[in-house]
Homo-oligomer: A and B are copies of this chain.
Amino acid sequence: MYDRAVQGDTIAPEARAGRPSAPEFDVLLAEYRSVRAFSEELCRPLAIEDYVVQSMDDVSPTKWHLGHVSWFFETFLLLPELGGYEPFHPRFSFVFNSYYNAVGERHPRPQRGVLARPTVAEVLAYRRHVDRHMTRLLANVSAAAERVASVVEIGLHHEQQHQELMVTDFKHVFGVNPLHPAYRPASAGGNGAPPGPLEWVPCAGGLRWFGHAGPGFAYDNEGPRHRRFLPPYRLADRLVTNGEYVNFMADGGYRRPELWLSDGWDAVNREGWEAPLYWSRDGSDWQQATLSGLRPLAPSEPVVHVSYFEADAYARWAGVRLPTEFEWEAAAMDATPAAAVANFVEEKAFHPRPCPPSAGLRQLYGDAWEWTASDYAPFPGYRPAPGALGEYNGKFMCNQYVLRGGSCATPRAHVRATYRNFFPPGKRWQFSGIRLADEG
């Protein structure tokens, strides 16, 4: 969710039924504490210096992430709902607003890395301040209880999105550093056996319903629920591996314009791409910068850090194509629960794992976001919600592509079969990978 989660956020909730009761607020407070604690847990391996750097325009400094998610609660809950609340600092609204035009002016995004201040300690104090008042708010909800619960829920999903972004942003900060620092040691056993050859799973198509049907939380872009007709199709049973991708490269993948979209070929030449992001040559071999430092490339792991352009070129080279987001969603809806066993951020692998050798659709969730051939567009009948939080619901629905399924940096509770992530087609710093599709 490049623009939504990175540049700022979205988000109008789907309707919630009824008003939450006091016990529900206890649950919500527990969730609040858990999510907030996890953000800080993720930062534990960092040095102060690591919180400050913006290694490219898409990356935000970690301290900015930590402040921004707190500003979200302050702006959309504490200020409107908690009488007499005083902002922690009068200029933080300027510093930590991501892109909400309605909320006022803001510090320019590409300049976040020039902000020496506030210090990390000050940002953490800001978090304590917000947490203290959020606790007070949730303990005393009366009027507008429904709105409070709904916005807290959004705020927590919002913070989970930023947890994923913090991980991918650490990775970039460390990945461009000539000293090759590691975020944490590699977990044992990563480099498993090669998965078997890629198999095709037939899918029936037909006239089906799509979009979120509840219960539970969903972003508004997952609806309205609506019907579409799909011709029969096939999906690859697993993600494309590094080893397979190396074959594409060895066959001139980055030097053959006929394999590329025109904009993709421009990107290859302009950016000098000759491999996925974070790959570098080590003599005749390839190595990969990971969150555990530089490692030899593991052929059996899924390829990640490829752009839509690279995913599309790989599929064309392989004689097939990428799935649409609807093909993916229909298959995920039909999949057995076993398909949902997945490498999410809670595994603390921080890296995709080789596909396990069982049969059927695997790796639908976790490991790597899967680029789809679908542009990020509104579902039929979609309308932005009224008011500030809904102001920008559709504003990123242009020149971006949908990714599905979550990655090794995604909190498990954050994704579902209808979840639509989206990024511009040239972006590579997320854990984005490739699943192939073909006509049925």
Task: Give chain B residues whose Cβ lies under 8 Å from the Cβ of A56.
Answer: 114
A283 at the B interface (CB under 8 A): no
Task: Give chain B residues whose Cβ lies under 8 Å from the Cβ of A229.
Answer: 207, 227-229
Task: Give chain B residues whose Cβ lies under 8 Å from the Cβ of A91.
Answer: 178-179
| Best-surrounded residue of A56, A63, A179, A373 (most CB of chain B within 10 A) | A179
Nearest 7 A/B pairs, CB to CB: A375-B375, A101-B257, A262-B395, A48-B48, A229-B229, A55-B114, A52-B52
| Bound CA–CA A202/B439 (angstroms) | 34
Question: Is there contact, CB below 8 Å, between A231 and B398?
Answer: no
| Best-surrounded residue of A119, A207, A394, A398 (most CB of chain B within 10 A) | A398
A20 at the B interface (CB under 8 A): no
Question: Is there contact, CB below 8 Å, between A178 and B94?
Answer: yes
Task: Give chain B residues whose Cβ lies under 8 Å from the Cβ of A264.
Answer: 398
Task: Give chain B residues whose Cβ lies under 8 Å from the Cβ of A95.
Answer: 178-179
Q: Which of B7, B53, B263 contacts A113 (CB 8 A)?
A: B53
Task: Give chain B residues whose Cβ lies under 8 Å from the Cβ of A174.
Answer: 116
Question: Is there contact, CB below 8 Å, between B116 and A181?
Answer: yes
A335 at the B interface (CB under 8 A): no
A377 at the B interface (CB under 8 A): yes
A392 at the B interface (CB under 8 A): yes
Q: A181-B117, A229-B207 are in contact. Are A381 and B262 (CB under 8 A)?
A: no
Question: Is there contact, CB below 8 Å, between A262 and B392?
Answer: yes
Task: Give chain B residues whose Cβ lies under 8 Å from the Cβ of A261.
Answer: 394-398
Kindly supply a per-residue 1/0 record for chain A positions 115-142, scoring 1 wherever the CB is within 8 Å of any chain B CB and 0 otherwise. 1111110000000000000000000000
Task: Give chain B residues whose Cβ lies under 8 Å from the Cβ of A378.
Answer: 373
Question: Is there contact, CB below 8 Å, between B176 and A114?
Answer: yes
The chain B residue with its CB closest to the CB of A3 is B262
| Bound CA–CA A339/B265 (angstroms) | 41
Within 8 A of B (CB), among A378-402: 378, 380-381, 391-392, 394-399
| Bound CA–CA A399/B425 (angstroms) | 9
- Number of A interface residues in the complex (CB < 8 A): 69
A258 at the B interface (CB under 8 A): yes
The chain B residue with its CB closest to the CB of A395 is B262
Task: Give chain B residues whose Cβ lies under 8 Å from the Cβ of A49.
Answer: 48-49, 51-52, 63, 116-117, 119-120
| Bound CA–CA A260/B394 (angstroms) | 9
A284 at the B interface (CB under 8 A): no
Within 8 A of B (CB), among A52-79: 52-56, 63
Measured CB to CB, the closest approach of chain B to A87, in angstroms, equals 13
Measured CB to CB, the closest approach of chain B to A383, in angstroms, equals 9
| Bound CA–CA A132/B340 (angstroms) | 58
| Bound CA–CA A375/B397 (angstroms) | 11
Q: Which of B54, B395, B425 contacts A260 (CB 8 A)?
A: B395
A412 at the B interface (CB under 8 A): no
Within 8 A of B (CB), among A228-287: 228-229, 231, 257-258, 260-265
Task: Give chain B residues whose Cβ lies under 8 Å from the Cβ of A188.
Answer: none
Measured CB to CB, the closest approach of chain B to A171, in angstroms, equals 12
The chain B residue with its CB closest to the CB of A396 is B262
| Bound CA–CA A48/B118 (angstroms) | 11
Measured CB to CB, the closest approach of chain B to A410, in angstroms, equals 23
